[in-house]
Amino acid sequence: GGDGAAAGGAKIDMDLYSRQIGTLGLETMGKLVQMKVLISGLRGLGVEAAKNLILAGPAAVALHDDELVEIRDLGSNFYFTEADVGQRSRAQASSQQLSELNPYVSVSCVSGPITAEMLAGYSVAVFFGKSQAELIRCNELCRARSPQVGFIAADCFGLCGTAFVDYGDAFSVRDKDGEEPRSAIVAGVTQENPGTVHTHHERRHGFQDGDWVTFREVQGMTQLNDSPPRQIRVTGPYSFTIEDTSGYSAYLREGLVTQVKVPKPITFSSYQRALVQPRPEGGEDLPVPDLAKFGRSEQLHIAVQAVQMYREQNGTLPSVRDAAAAEACVQLAKELNDSRKRDEGALSVDEVDEDVVRKVALFAPCMICPMAAFLGGIVAQEVVKFTGKYTPLHQCLYFDMFELLPGDLSQLPNDWHPLGTRYDDQVAILGKAFQDRVANLKLFMVGAGALGCEYLKTLAMLGACCGPDGKVTVTDMDRIEISNLNRQFLFRQKDVGKPKSLTSAAAAQAMNGDLKVHAMEGRVGADTEDTFDDPFWAGLDCVINALDNVQARLYVDSRCVWFAKPLLESGTLGTKANVQVVLPHKTQSYGDSQDPPEESIPLCTLKHFPHAIEHTIEWSRDLFEQLFVESPREVNTFMEDPAGYLAKIPSEGTGTSQLAKMRCVRRMLEQSSGPFDVCVQFGVLEFQDKFHDSIAQLLHTFPLDHRTSENTLFWSGPKRPPTPISFDPKDDLHLEFVLAAANLYAANLGISANRDKAAIAQMAARVEVPAFQPKEVKFKVDEKDTTQEGCVDDDDRARQCIAEMAELGKKMASAKRMSAAEFEKDDDTNFHVAFVSAAANLRARNYKIPEADFHKVKMTAGKIIPAIATTTAMVTGLVACELLKVVTLSSRKVEDFKNAFVNLALPLWVMSEPLPPLQTKSKEYDPIIMGPVRAKPEGFTSWEKIEINKGDITLKEFVDHLTNEVGIEVMIMSAGNACLYNAYLPAHKKRLNDKVTKLWEDITKQKLSPKKTYLTIEVSASDPDDGVDVQIPTIKFQFR
């Protein structure tokens, strides 16, 4: 399963691309590896798009930009060096490092004017920073070719970004959103016009209006089965309508309905038409990325064209901060809008927003990293969509970061003049004094993976942490793996095995030698608070999370809340991403808004009644743990102390489970010296047990016609009736299971591997399989069932077995220890995923569930989070913009900041103002304590704390202080997990004379670190007057 054969025969490197294939799927990957793309224009935006695209892995990328590198380009193109300035073209200066990103992509440079011949052989051509006339010309060249070449144009005008996609007259989308096809269990179908389908109430069907579905396994109304996909109208969470069913035979029972992705045609307008009317025929209005700026996209559509018209008339874009040129653009915008108003089919606005035009015109030549990264991620994803995966941008996007400017343009900084440095474009917008503040930022970045690499590049480009007092501390405990190279763009093949933090820090410093990075390999958590101590947190300006798990995010968030530090939080999942800005006292913290927990699969579904491939994969992953991890560990535990081990057995589980455990230990000890035949025998007998005997036993207990106490059929709805499978060495899947199981078992026993399929098939054919004998067994049928599972007469056998095992323990005292497996998802040769895949598909065959390919099993069993470079780069652009706002946090309003949710597959952008912090308020009735509760102070948030700064005081002084100053009576007081005082326990009264610090040391049995100057204390309290419960903020008890 190591190499996926793509369409057209190109091999796909499954190790490198596994996380991306988890997002895009193999079919799309097969199309992508054959694409050739031209990228013209290589300032910051061009290099960002090229980097993301090359990581994704098309066949070839050609770079086109004959302009010489300027010093200001170094502020956004991270591959330019000062030695390139005035010496090399932008294409030449970028190509070397871009080509190192992915060995499978051929990167070349082309030069000269764009011609029809030059476009030959390309799937998509992307144009950045071109004039309007040039874009119209290139778009016509792309449309004239057969087949049409996909055309994308994008540009940054300072703080305004724009993108346009034209995939021709007849483009087809295979999969509009990239979501897994949904399926539901049918509960009923009416005979009427239109027919209504009712689905099982186990869960909502999740279909949308206009979806296409197919049916299978319907009994009675068999006309529904195996017919082509049909379109549905959704009428409720458990119902939808189909065609006229009045002439069909009556529905009896069962049936599954599954969503089918049906190709959807999309027609695109030319660039020239879109200038006049950006809404394509049959398309939507312009996207509104930020709901607070309704109508802004239309204003930008006019403003950008006005600036482009100025360029046509004057030969260049307006100069930076050229007020006269900006006024000329305002006039052009008004004239343009007036002429559009007279044109029936054109887009116009009621009144041109002059400020919007000025904000585009004054900074038109500038390119800053946040905008380049944001748009570069979007554009690269649009190129990938040419494969037919996801819905392309249809057709124009406008976006601005105007919050970085003062509300009133007369307040623009005066210190904007170019100094001939890499930061000139940024200084032109934000000013030199602001740039110095950026340079001296003290940041903490947690994580140096995909997000982390992008953030370090961003800091290098912004000049953040590059000043005399600036510094970024970055920590990550991980080492680089091959699958990281597909999106963690600061790493190369030669870095595999090295620490992420040190490697990414060195790579970012190569981009800007002034960057001050302190790279560490420590975990951030309660156990490292001596490393990341109070002075460390207190000295920070802002924290950036680049994490991949909720637990670490919550911990960092709790520290930021405690030390009142801004936190920039982001995450990605495939094409989806989010940004959350956490500002002390102004917004919710990350911990205030938690995602709902993942749904777990009920145990009895896993054990006896699976109805989806996810159920069989999880069952197989559990089987792997049981057979190859827990069993060998059991043997080792037994060997260390046979008598003690056997003494514990009678008190654990049922006789049936005791017996199974001991028989397994005995078998492994007796077979520990081989030969390999015993491992094959183990594989065959496991096969027999799991896919034949246990299924036959289940059917013996619940025959196919079995009815429940309510007289309904037992095997119906989600309970799918299984069929036993008999072992056949000639069946490939059967053999794969035995091959993997035998080799994993051999590894446990310390016997060398055997990968010879033919030899193993012969050994397997010789194994004698005992005939199945049904037993009287009890099963749990659902979560509420209290039945003890197991067989009746196993208790006596278990007692007998314990006696025999004691003898064996003496005899085998000197035998070698077993080696337990450790599930490793990223090595396709270790039989781990191979075993889970074979077992999951065999169990799927038992229950007639469609089988899954190797890669799907690997992603599910390995709990691999799908990830792609485009989403990561895009989201870090948004976070970089927020970081620049944090620099002047004290003078900003909370509405300047933006949380974001993005799904590039749709594509969808939703920017919104961060929510205010959750408040603790008094309640007349609290359902948990079943009575009233008061908040002191009223409406306090998690950002507030009570400080007690009276030195190393006794518990009594502490309690009295709270009574006198806060007006509460302390009931229970704790620090972390240690309960320091409980007023309800008479024995605690004598603690009142002890010092709080001594109590802490006595109860936790730890010494207070000399660095520690305070304790964090939580108190449950009541009102001294009427005994009502009172909630108060956390207490910071400063004892030295």
Give 660's pLDDT tier (boundaries 50, 70, 90).
confident
SS (H, E, C) 477-507: CCECCHHHHHCCCCCCHHHCCCEHHHHHHHH
Q: Is the pLDDT of residue 2 over 70?
A: no
Q: Is the pLDDT of residue 786 over 90?
A: no
Average pLDDT of the residues of the chain: 94
Compute CA distances 827 → 491, 627, 743, whole Å: 20, 19, 15
Res 593: pLDDT: 81
pLDDT digits (tens, 9 = 90+) for 399-429: 999 999 998 999 999 999 999 999 999 999 9
Looking at per-residue pLDDT, the higher value among 657 and 567 belongs to: 567
Give the contacts of 259 (CB within 8 A, at least 6 positions apart).
181, 182, 183, 207, 211, 212, 213
Res 3: pLDDT: 43
Which of 151-155, 622-626, 656-660 has the lowest average pLDDT? Answer: 656-660
pLDDT digits (tens, 9 = 90+) for 517-536: 999 999 999 999 989 999 99
Q: What b/e sequence results for 259-282 when a residue is b if at least 16 CB atoms lie within 10 Å of its CB, and e otherwise?
A: bebbeeebebbbbebbbebbbbee
- Residue 906's nearest CA partner among 306, 264, 371, 337 is 264
For residue 289, the 8-state DSSP code is: S
Long-range contacts for 101-104 (Cβ within 8 Å, ≥24 apart)? Answer: 101/51, 101/54, 101/55, 101/489, 102/16, 102/54, 102/55, 102/57, 102/485, 103/493, 104/13, 104/16, 104/33, 104/57
- What element of type H or E holds 579? strand 576-582
Task: Check if the beta carbon of residue 239 is closer than 8 Å to that of residue 199.
Answer: yes
Active site residue 142: no
pLDDT digits (tens, 9 = 90+) for 187-238: 999 999 999 999 998 889 999 999 999 999 999 999 999 899 999 999 999 9
pLDDT digits (tens, 9 = 90+) for 992-1011: 999 999 999 999 999 998 88
Give 792's pLDDT tier (boundaries 50, 70, 90).
low
Q: Is the pLDDT of residue 6 over 80?
A: no
Q: Is the pLDDT of residue 807 over 50?
A: yes
Which of 6-15, 35-44, 257-266, 270-279 has the lowest average pLDDT? Answer: 6-15
pLDDT digits (tens, 9 = 90+) for 251-276: 999 999 999 999 999 999 999 999 99
Res 460: pLDDT: 98
Give the contacts of 484 (CB within 8 A, at least 6 positions apart).
449, 450, 491, 500
Give 5's pLDDT tier (boundaries 50, 70, 90).
very low
Res 8: pLDDT: 45
Amino acid at 305: Q
Catalytic pick among 369, 453, 604, 801 = 604
> Residue 977 corresponds to which tokens in the numbers above?
């997990």
Q: Are strands 576-582 and 567-573 parallel, antiparallel or unpaired?
A: antiparallel
pLDDT digits (tens, 9 = 90+) for 370-406: 999 999 999 999 999 999 999 999 999 999 999 999 9
pLDDT digits (tens, 9 = 90+) for 701-750: 999 999 998 998 999 989 999 999 999 999 999 999 999 999 999 999 99
Res 4: pLDDT: 45
Give the contacts of 589 (CB within 8 A, at least 6 positions apart).
557, 558, 560, 561, 567, 582, 917, 942, 943
> Residue 330 corresponds to which tokens in the numbers above?
């305002």
pLDDT digits (tens, 9 = 90+) for 758-783: 999 999 999 999 999 988 777 777 77
Res 56: pLDDT: 97
Q: How many helices (H) and strands (E) does the chain have?
A: 31, 36
For residue 591, the 8-state DSSP code is: G
pLDDT digits (tens, 9 = 90+) for 934-946: 999 999 999 999 9
Compute CA distances 40 → 484, 563, 841, whole Å: 28, 47, 47
Report the pLDDT averaged over residues 351-368: 98
Cα dihedral across residues 473, 474, 477, 479: positive or negative: negative
Res 948: pLDDT: 95
